[in-house]
């Protein structure tokens, strides 16, 4: 855990697949806060339309750079 801009954030998460009985660990190397995420990014279209998703992700990447 790490305090980032007044909010406690996990630096890593461990998940267990109950079907295969395997563990997965996800480490967060960088944490960026206060990024504006448009509502249209949080839709099922983002999951199914690769071109749309990449266009929207590029907008988010520009906020981080």
C-alpha count within 13 angstroms, C-beta hemisphere, residue 14 = 3
d(CA 57, CA 46): 9
Structural domains of the chain, count: 2
Which residue spans within the chain are E strands per DSSP? Answer: 2-4, 7-9, 12-17, 22-27
Instruction: State the residue range of the domain holding 49.
Output: 35-65
Q: Does 46 share its domain with 56?
A: yes
**4-8, 9-13, 21-25, 53-57, range with the lowest pLDDT:** 4-8
Please state the pTM of the whole predicted model. 0.60
Q: What is the pLDDT of residues 18-47, one digit of tens each?
A: 999 999 999 999 888 889 999 989 999 999
Q: Does 29 share its domain with 41?
A: no
């Amino acid at each position: 855990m790490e305090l980032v801009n007044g909010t406690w954030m996990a630096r890593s998460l461990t998940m267990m697949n109950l079907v295969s009985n395997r563990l997965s660990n996800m480490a967060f190397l960088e944490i960026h806060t206060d990024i504006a995420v448009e509502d249209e990014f949080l839709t099922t279209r983002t999951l199914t339309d690769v071109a749309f998703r990449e266009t929207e992700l590029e907008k988010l990447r520009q906020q981080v750079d």
